[in-house]
């Protein structure tokens, strides 16, 4: 099955503690992470670090639709990071959309994971995201259809690398339970490739 | 005119064992005293070690409010509650109360979608509904939930924006769907979606005579027609407690102490949203178990909505 080409560059920014540019097909996102840093008084949590995420679209100001992505990525990072090791501090994750050809959410999540890995912050497990598309002809694929109007439904799955369990699921459009199951299995298989890619990136095989 | 319909009740009642008459006085006083002490201790325990309190409760296969893990709270729906709106409903799921009102306004369609109207949902979480919220601009949670509701409406296509167009490129309806939470006790999306479906079914729009050459519009407020509703949505929320226990229809405390949340929205037999925004990872079996449970609940809520509509 055809699948989007993954590519990545770690540490492209000098100021953040960890940064990564991640491409999934043509979709590209830059992620930067600061942490643990000083936390705002209102957001202090006594027994763990507060994780914050801000997402910036390609043009214009972040709108209300970006809040949903922010909260999704924040929740995923909060689960995966060992936040209890850094009490009374903050971990800030910033994402900048560069180009979107359909897999924006999964690309942003993968970029966030690589930035976390590069920053050296403690994590419980890695997380990898995969986008599956259901076309109008009821075919499930990993490649985005050429025209956006051909997409009947879109699934984003986030898995952990430890047990392959589902951390997050985000769907758009309507679909049957069987289609969901099929997309989930396809996503799980593909997530293994994503984790292999992450590991290769970290040991420097994929560096461009 | 508006009758309330209660679907089903799962509130257990505690019935003390019958005592023989001659012993009543002393023993009743004692029982009362003991219960009082026990309740006080439970409350102290709950406020001092909330998570441990929940863990201990759940270890005995029961939730603090007396429900089993997969039981839902009673649902209440009242439709057409507000006269000044074009469509309205009040939904209660347990103690969670949502008022939904739809106001239709005339507007000009966007240039790239000339034959479509707009649907603009907005969820308000005032400080009245929970101490978590402060007065001022909408909280993050309100914004996220508003967007989730907007996504659900768009994904399910329960209202087709094309039905809202009056004259292409000139005039269309914009539906402002406002939700106000009066009491926040968990499963907010479930209550919002029930209220939304109820309100959409009572929605009527006045007919509009539009003359494009003069850009003259005449609204006949007397002649009102309902809009086509293409599907009935049913939402069900689950929480994951301590990475393994799955609780259906959580209360606000369960939502606060849980480690993950899953919202499933059904549209007839189809799924239109499986939303798990992070939180503790779950296995595929657990996820499909949740989908099955929400499929079992869906006909009950559909019946409730049908009954409410009939009684109107």
Collect all residues of chain A within an 8 Å Cβ-Cβ radius of residue B140: 67, 71
What's the N-to-C CA distance of chain A in angstroms? 25
pLDDT at B21 over 80: no
B281 touches chain A (CB under 8 A): yes
Give the contacts of B299 (CB within 8 A, at least 6 positions apart): none
Residue B25 has pLDDT above 60, yes or no: no
The predicted-structure confidence for A59-113, as pLDDT tens digits, reads as follows 999 988 899 999 999 999 999 999 999 999 999 999 999 999 989 999 999 999 9
CA distance B239 to chain A (A): 13
Rg (CA), chain B: 23
Mutation for B interface: A64, A132, A156, most B CBs within 10 A? A64
In A, which residues are within 8 Å of B147 by CB distance? 64-65, 67-68
Contact list, A181 vs chain B (CB under 8 Å): 288
Checking if the pLDDT of B32 tops 60, the result is no
**Contact (CB<8Å) B140/A67:** yes
Q: Which fold has domain A6-202?
A: Ribosomal Protein S5; domain 2 (3.30.230)
Tens digit of each residue's pLDDT (9 = 90 or more) over B226-279: 999 999 999 999 999 988 899 999 999 999 999 999 999 999 889 999 999 989
Answer yes or no: is pLDDT of B23 > 50: no
The residues with which B224 forms a beta bridge, in sequence order, are: B206
Which residue from A78, A159, A176 is facing B270, i.e. has the nearest CB?
Answer: A176
* A8, pLDDT greater than 90: yes
Per-residue pLDDT band at A189 (split at 50, 70, 90): very high
- Is B175's Cβ below 8 Å from some Cβ in A? no
For chain A, domain boundaries: 6-202
Residue in the block written with tokens 């209890």? A84
pLDDT-derived band at B34, boundaries 50, 70, 90: low
Q: What's the CATH number of domain B75-311, 2.40.110.10, 1.10.260.40, 3.30.230.70, 3.20.20.140? A: 3.30.230.70
Chain A: closest CA distance from residue B278 (Å): 4
pLDDT band at A207 (very low <50, low <70, confident <90, very high): low
B-interface mutation test, from A63, A68, A155, A189, most B Cβ less than 10 A away:
A68
DSSP state of B114: T
Q: Which of B149, B158, B276, B290 has the most A C-beta neighbours within 10 Å, making it the best mutation to test the interface with A?
A: B276
The stretch B30-39 carries a mean pLDDT of 63
Mean pLDDT, rounded, for A25-51: 92
Q: Mind telling me how many Å the CA of B267 is from chain A's nearest CA?
A: 8
Q: Shortest CA distance to A25 belongs to which of A99, A97, A133? A: A99
| pLDDT tens, residue by residue, B90-146 | 999 999 999 999 999 999 999 999 999 999 999 999 999 999 999 999 999 999 999
The question of ipTM being above 0.85 is answered as: yes
The pLDDT score that the predictor gives to residue B213 is 87
Mean pLDDT over B193-207 rounds to 95
Does pLDDT of A149 surpass 90?
no
d(CA B248, CA B184): 16
Q: Tell me the pLDDT band of B6, cut-offs 50, 70 and 90.
A: very low
- What is the average pLDDT value for chain A, to the nearest integer? 92
CA distance B280 to chain A (A): 6
- Residue B73 to chain A, least CA–CA distance (Å): 25
For the segment B205-223, the average pLDDT, to the nearest whole number, is 90
Q: Testing the interface with A: which of B120, B122, B268, B278 to mutate, by most A Cβ within 10 A? A: B278
Q: Could you tell me if A54 lies within 8 Å of chain B, comparing CB atoms?
A: no
């Amino acid at each position: 099955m055809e699948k989007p080409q993954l590519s990545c560059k770690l540490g492209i920014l000098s100021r953040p503690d960890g940064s990564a540019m991640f491409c999934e097909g043509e979709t590209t996102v830059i992620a930067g992470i600061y942490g643990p840093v000083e936390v705002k008084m209102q957001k202090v949590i006594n027994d763990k670090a507060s994780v914050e995420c801000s997402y910036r679209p390609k043009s214009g100001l972040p709108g209300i639709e970006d809040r949903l992505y922010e909260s999704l990525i924040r929740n995923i990072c909060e689960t995966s990071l060992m936040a209890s090791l850094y009490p009374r501090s903050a971990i800030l994750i910033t994402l900048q959309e560069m180009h979107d050809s359909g897999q924006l959410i999964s690309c942003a999540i993968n970029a966030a994971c690589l930035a976390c890995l590069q920053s050296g912050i403690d994590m419980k497990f890695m997380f990898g995201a995969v986008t599956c598309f259901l076309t109008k002809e009821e075919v499930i694929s990993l490649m985005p259809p050429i025209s956006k109007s051909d997409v009947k439904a879109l699934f984003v799955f986030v898995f952990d690398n430890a047990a392959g369990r589902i951390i997050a699921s985000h769907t758009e459009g309507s679909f049957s339970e069987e289609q969901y199951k099929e997309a989930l299995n396809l996503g799980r298989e593909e997530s293994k490739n994503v984790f292999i890619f992450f590991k290769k990136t970290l040991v420097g095989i994929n560096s461009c | 005119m508006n009758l309330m319909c209660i679907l089903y009740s799962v509130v257990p009642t505690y019935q003390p064992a019958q005592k023989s008459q001659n012993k009543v006085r002393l023993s009743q006083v004692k029982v009362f005293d003991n219960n009082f002490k026990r309740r006080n201790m439970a409350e102290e325990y709950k406020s001092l070690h909330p998570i441990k309190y929940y863990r201990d409760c759940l270890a005995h296969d029961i939730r603090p409010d007396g429900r089993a893990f997969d039981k839902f709270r009673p649902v209440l729906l009242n439709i057409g509650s507000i006269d000044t709106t074009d469509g309205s409903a009040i939904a209660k799921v347990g103690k969670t109360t949502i008022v939904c009102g739809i106001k239709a306004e005339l507007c000009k369609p966007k240039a790239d979608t000339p034959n479509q109207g707009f649907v603009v949902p907005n969820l308000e979480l005032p400080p009245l509904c929970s101490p978590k919220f402060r007065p001022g601009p909408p909280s993050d949670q309100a914004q996220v939930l508003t967007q989730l509701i907007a996504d659900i409406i768009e994904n399910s296509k329960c209202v087709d924006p094309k039905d809202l167009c009056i004259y292409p490129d000139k005039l269309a309806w914009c539906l402002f769907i406002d939700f106000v939470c009066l009491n926040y006790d968990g499963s907010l999306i479930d209550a919002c979606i029930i209220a939304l479906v109820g309100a959409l079914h009572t929605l009527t729009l006045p007919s509009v005579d539009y003359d494009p050459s003069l850009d003259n519009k005449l609204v006949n407020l007397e002649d009102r027609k309902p809009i086509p509703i293409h599907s009935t949505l049913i939402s069900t929320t689950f929480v994951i407690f301590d990475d393994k226990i799955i609780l259906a229809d959580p209360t606000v405390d369960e939502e606060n102490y849980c480690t993950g949340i899953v919202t499933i929205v059904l549209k007839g037999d189809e799924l239109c949203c499986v939303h798990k925004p992070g939180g503790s990872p779950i296995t595929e079996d657990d996820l499909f178990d949740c989908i099955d449970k929400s499929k079992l609940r869906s006909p009950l809520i559909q019946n409730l909505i049908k009954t409410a509509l009939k009684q109107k």
